[in-house]
Structure 1
Amino acid sequence: MKYRSLSNTSFDELFEAFQQAFADYEIQLDKGEHWAMLKRRGFNPELSFAAFDENKIVSFTCNGIGDFDGIPIAYDTGTGTLKEYRGQGLATQVFEYSIPYLKQAGIKEYLLEVLQHNTGAVSVYKKIGFEVSREFYYFRPKISQIMTEVKSVGFPYTIQPIDINKHDSIPSFWDFKPSWQNSMDSVNRSSEGFIGLGVFTDNKLIGYGIFEPASGDITQIAVDKTYRRKGVGSLLFHNMIKANKLDSIKIINTDIRCDSMNAFLQSKNIEPTGKQFEMIKKL
């Protein structure tokens, strides 16, 4: 067994290993979707690593690299081991092999998300020094079950496409900081696939949403705190769903502690599909 970076590995080789490792996973990605996921999450092949049996990838970790809260971070965009190679601790060995290279590159922390019901993975991450930083809900409702009625907004407004990078007020709308894959940096890495919508009154932005129509992903939605419970969020939500190209949507990584988001989604007849842990290890 040899360990090395993915810098000289083709995407086709990586995708084949990904398919085999996640063959029994509840959600399947095709090649285009897999590449889009890696791009959005900041995949860096030089700082991603795998175990090779001869020249075959048998266990791998794809890392995204970037800043998060101003800290240089490595983000686990996908760790997998081929079924016939499981039980040998290969994923842990790949991770341990990667640490000196990440430190040398100036990375200060390692960040990941893991499904809470994947208790085996959670246990392994805790053993190698990861600590839970946040808990997230994720949602995958069918369009047919969502209540999309919009009450009348009781003041003049316009709704129009926006460039999220041109509105410094956006972070002040947040009740929680977006996760890595929903961050502004992640959206900007794949900006061609996203649509930003803004609601304005008197030329002032009072609410916005970011979504990816091709995947059904509602990435961010937030309203200025002084304009809440006036129908602005519902208006944005309705327009994002109208532009969606699938029969379902996905809302990933909303902070469990965010009562405002939980109540908003419940009002739309959207209940959590499951939970994730966000976990961090200092390097």
Structure 2
Amino acid sequence: MREIKRMSSCPLSDVIEAWNSGFKGYFTDMTMSVDRFLQRMVQEGLSAEDSIVAYMDGVPAGIVLNGFRTVDGKTISYNGGTGVAPEFRRTGIGKQMMESAIEIYKQKEVDTATLEAINENTAAIKLYESLGYEITDRVDFLQQDGSLQPHFEDFELPYEYDFEHTTPEKVSKLSFYQKKSPWQTQWQSVANGEAVIVSHEGKQVGYALYRRSLKPDGNAAVIVLHQLGGDVDFHNPHNLVDSLLYKVLEPKRSCKRLIINLSTETKPQYETVMNRGFSTMISQVCMEKVMKEPIESNAKSIEKV
């Protein structure tokens, strides 16, 4: 018998089993411990009450994680992971879970549903497209290990830049903050992390959102860059991005550096990063499903009728 339950009503052991078996043999290792899973739920603002676990004859067979945020008065949902255990794949359970998730979105009056899918996962992308999702962007997960200094051999920070270390939430108030960037790159997903705003001649022109894990000696072990942004009218965008990278990523030290879900369409950021020693780990598509048509669109439809 097949059964779909809200995650909050399931034993935690079943939830972890559903996640780890659901992503068994995936394109990248998604295995999580209980602590890591709970940490991710909190860090990314995912909802246990609105996520679902599928059972097949009492066995945890699949999972869909869901989160919700309000952006400019609109409710945005995020699918934080859809997995089906190998023995239950190609049985239709994935589609049934997604249909259940979409019903939850409707109940919560979601305006736009979002998710990401790995490029090579063509079966999942086709499933999402069959449910009304469309590809809106392509993003890369990038990494660099060791010292960045060789890639900044002749670089010096411009004296006319001023850097302010601040909170991620303050960055979200900038007029050029990227509100529609992927869920994990938004300020809420790095709320307890760090942020830098750069100014030029007294005007704020760029920012970075990032998180650091430290070694016992206080030096960085891992630096995760969540978002790079800049004023589109700034006259020297590549130099601006270079300066933010240099300021945030500690190029003279050896550590692991990750940049998550960087859009290949944000040319100053993407091109500059790729010229500074980073390589692509994973490429994904961003997908959206419009749940509620904008009022303007509805008005135009009425006019046509």
TM-score (norm 2): 0.78
Distance 2:76 2:171 in 1: 25
Please identify, of 176-185 and 225-234, the stretch whose mean Cα deviation from structure 2 is larger.
225-234
Query: Is contact 1:81-1:91 (8 Å) kept?
Result: yes
1:67-216 alignment to 2 at 5 Å? Answer: 67-68=70-71, 70-144=73-147, 147-149=151-153, 151-167=155-171, 170-172=174-176, 177-187=180-190, 191-192=191-192, 194-200=193-199, 204-214=203-213, 216=223
SS of equivalent residue, structure 2 residue 10: coil
Deviation at 1:245, TM superposition (A): 10
**Would the alpha carbon gap of residues 74 and 19 (structure 1) be closer, same or farther in structure 2, given more than 3 Å must change?**
same
Residue in structure 2 matching 1:50, options 45, 50, 53: 53
SS in 1 for 2:144: coil
Out of 219, 232, 236, the position equivalent to 1:228 is 236
Distance in 2 (CA, whole Å) between partners of 1:69 and 1:137 is: 26
Q: Displacement, 1:63?
A: 0.6
Check the 8 A contact 1:112/1:278 in 2, yes or no. yes
Aligned partners of 1:144 and 1:18: how far apart in 2?
Answer: 35
Instruction: Report if the CA contact (8 A) 2:62-2:85 is conserved.
Output: yes
The verdict on how the C-alpha distance between 1:68 and 1:276 changes in structure 2, with shifts beyond 3 A counting, is farther
> 1:246–1:126: structure 2 CA closer, same or farther, 3 Å change rule?
farther
Rounded to whole Å, the distance in 2 between the matches of 1:49 and 1:136 is 26
Q: 1:106 offset after TM fit, Å?
A: 1.5
**Which structure's CA Rg is the greater one?**
2
Aligned partner of residue 49 in structure 1, secondary structure: strand
Change (3 A) 1:117 1:68: farther
How far apart are the structure 2 equivalents of 1:200 and 1:17?
47
Kept after mapping to 2: 8 A contact 1:139/1:271: yes
Q: Structure 2: where are the runs of 5+ without partners? A: 214-221, 292-305
Letter in 2 for 1:95: M
**1:218 to partner: Cα distance:** 0.4
CA distance in 1, matches of 2:85, 2:172: 45
Alpha-carbon distance, 1:154 to partner: 3.8
Question: Over aligned residue pairs, what C-alpha RMSD do you find?
Answer: 2.9
Q: Aligned residue for 2:281?
A: 273
Which structure's residues are more often strand, by fraction?
Answer: 2
State yes or no: 1:257 paired with 2:233.
Answer: no
Q: How far apart, in 2, do the equivalents of 1:208 and 1:150 lie?
A: 23
Number of residue pairs aligned between Structure 1 and Structure 2: 278
Once residues 41 and 280 of structure 2 are traced to their aligned partners in structure 1, the CA distance between those partners, rounded to angstroms, is 25
% identical aligned pairs: 20
Letter in 1 for 2:265: R
Residue of structure 2 equivalent to 1:242: 250
Query: 1:129, CA displacement in angstroms?
Result: 1.8
Structure 1 residues without counterparts, runs of 5 or longer: none
Q: Secondary structure at the match of 1:4?
A: strand
